[in-house]
Amino acid sequence: MSRPIALVRAGGWYHVTNRGVDRAPLFKEPHEAAAFVAALGEIAARFAVEIHAYCAMGNHYHVLFRAQEEELLRAIATLEAGLRSSVGRARLRRMAVGRHLLEVTRYIHRNPVAAGLVRRPQDWAWSSYRGYLDGLDAPPWLRSDAVLGWLGSIGRRQLYRRFVEEVRQTSGRRASQRPADNRESTIRREIAAPPERPARRKPRE
């Protein structure tokens, strides 16, 4: 029998990230990433924290929380106790409330695409993106309504999908599009093609 979700009173929004020391892998096998996602559900039940988005990568993770900072620190300590490798000090970035949260979740959900691990964000099993597209695919502790609410009440899941997947390629990279510096141990990066040499000018006659 699952435990009831702890009640979160007034709290801030935090984008929390951490990675393995010396970029050591945190999740080498699929079951380790799945265990991390399950652990998120455990801390949501045990502590007064809300989980609004997440993504488990090879050597780091992202989670968007809403909580009181002291309670959040306790929850993070419990979450990281079950990781395979030692981690550094978690980075907590307090987020302003507003449509900016849409871009934060887009950045989180596009992390596997930016790292070259998948072509589409929904192809990555260890993020909350599928739960944003279809509530039936979401774990009961995932809170997507607050972020989706910035897109209105009608067709918001479809609008969110367009927002995440139809990323502009012409202008410079936005914060939500920055590729993660993952250096995934199990992924070979393609060797960059050498830059084209400028055409030589013909000597004057």
CATH of the domain at 111: 3.30.70.1290
Question: Per-residue pLDDT for 195 more than 50?
Answer: no
Mean of the pLDDT values across residues 142-169? 91
pLDDT value at residue 9: 52
- pLDDT per residue as tens digits for the range 118-133: 999 999 999 999 999 9
Question: In angstroms, what is the C-alpha Rg of the chain?
Answer: 19
Within a domain: 136:
yes
Q: How many helices (H) and strands (E) does the chain have?
A: 7, 4
Within a domain: 34:
yes
Within a domain: 186:
no
Residue pair 52/10 in contact by the 8 Å Cβ criterion: no
pLDDT value at residue 11: 81
Within a domain: 90:
yes
Within a domain: 193:
no
For the entire predicted model, the pTM comes to 0.77
Stronger pLDDT, 173 or 107, i.e. the higher one: 107
Within a domain: 177:
no
pLDDT value at residue 180: 37
Question: Per-residue pLDDT for 105 more than 70?
Answer: yes
Question: Domain containing 62: what range?
Answer: 12-166
Beta bridge partners of 168: none
Mean pLDDT for the chain overall: 81
> Domain total for the chain?
1
Mean of the pLDDT values across residues 109-117? 96
Within a domain: 3:
no
Mean of the pLDDT values across residues 133-150? 95
Helices marked H in the chain? 30-46, 69-80, 100-109, 111-114, 129-133, 145-148, 156-165
pLDDT value at residue 71: 96
pLDDT value at residue 93: 95
Within a domain: 115:
yes
Beta bridge partners of 127: 55
